[in-house]
């Protein structure tokens, strides 16, 4: 299947890149990632509801999201914002609870690029602790999940243009 969201992962590296162009001004794309109300709207879908428990969008600010699936199971996602420059960059750690014991931790660099007054691009570089961890995330369905989330982001944010 061909997705608008593109994931690039070179063999033997611990990182991957996620790229997507949006029909949104760059400031609005950035706001979708830093405004708790907007973030919860586009990160929720028919399968799961996401709640922003905390989002302190500043350097050393903590964030915490919970996602509840239809069976009622809750998943926790959390981390620390290391750098933020509106509407250009967001650097954060991303951690999720693991059923296997040790939580998965990654470092994310989100870069927001203005293409035109009404279009923008999001590039996310994610660095994992190991090649295996990165490859496992890809195998678990990262591409369709990222594409679905980005489609939803575009759909929700269209009403704010």
Is 32 among the domain residues? Answer: yes
Q: Name the residue range of residue 113's domain.
A: 14-158
Domains in the chain: how many in total? 1
Give the 3-state secondary structure of residue 72: coil
- Predicted local confidence at residue 101, as pLDDT: 61
80-139 tens-digit pLDDT:
999 999 999 999 999 988 656 666 789 999 999 999 999 999 999 999 999 999 999 899
Give the 3-state secondary structure of residue 156: helix
Is 152 among the domain residues? Answer: yes
Alpha carbon distance 42, 35 (integer Å): 11
Is 110 among the domain residues? Answer: yes
- Predicted local confidence at residue 3, as pLDDT: 76
Is 2 among the domain residues? Answer: no
Is 6 among the domain residues? Answer: no
Alpha carbon distance 109, 8 (integer Å): 15
Site of tokens 């299947």: 1
Distances, alpha carbon 16 to alpha carbons 4, 78, 109, 124, 146, in Å: 16, 20, 11, 8, 13
Cis peptide before 87 (omega within 30 of 0): yes
7-41 tens-digit pLDDT:
999 999 999 999 999 999 999 999 999 999 999 99
Is 142 among the domain residues? Answer: yes
Is 9 among the domain residues? Answer: no
CATH of the domain at 87: 3.30.530.20
Is 23 among the domain residues? Answer: yes
């Amino acid at each position: 299947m061909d997705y608008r969201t593109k994931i690039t992962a070179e063999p033997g590296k611990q990182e991957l890149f996620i790229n997507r162009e949006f029909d949104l001004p760059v400031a609005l794309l950035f706001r979708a990632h830093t405004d708790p109300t907007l973030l919860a709207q586009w990160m929720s879908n028919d399968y799961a509801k996401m709640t922003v428990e905390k989002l302190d969008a500043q350097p050393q600010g903590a964030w915490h999201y919970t996602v509840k699936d239809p069976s009622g199971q809750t998943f926790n996602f959390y981390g620390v914002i290391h750098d933020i420059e509106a509407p250009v960059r967001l650097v954060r750690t991303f951690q999720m609870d693991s059923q296997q014991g040790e939580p998965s931790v990654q470092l994310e660099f989100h870069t927001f690029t203005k293409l035109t007054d009404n279009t923008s691009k999001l590039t996310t570089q994610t660095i994992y602790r190991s090649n295996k961890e990165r490859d496992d995330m890809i195998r678990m369905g990262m591409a369709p999940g990222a594409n679905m989330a980005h489609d939803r982001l575009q759909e929700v944010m269209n009403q704010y243009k």
